[in-house]
Amino acid sequence: MVPENVNSVRSPLFSTPRKKIIEPPARSLGGIAIALAGLVVVLLAANFVLYRQNTRSLAESLKEITAADPSRQAAGPAGAGTIAPPATGTSGGGQ
């Protein structure tokens, strides 16, 4: 009998190998890795949904702004290649 088991109330026939008592740390790290991957997926999905909502809101706001400004409707979108007519009145130049 092993000296550490002399005062034990267990039967000497019942023995558990000590190397099987401790769970390897890799198993618990695997669960943490799966949870972390799930959280990353949720984060990316939330960012995508919020991005889509905000771009729609921004597009609607831009449509409201262009609808309220008649000069923007006549000239078209900025940079579309149209040249605005010259302003009337004095230019302040010395001609």
Write out the DSSP string of 3-57.
GGGTT-SS-TT----GGGTSPPHHHHHHHHHHHHHHHHHHHHHHHHHHHHHHHHH
**Domain range annotation of the chain:** 44-72
Quote the pTM value: 0.44
Reported as a single tens digit per residue, the pLDDT across 11-45 is 666 666 665 667 666 667 888 899 999 999 999 99
For the chain, how big is the Rg over CA atoms in Å?
38
Dihedral Cα 82, 83, 85, 87, nearest 10 deg? 130
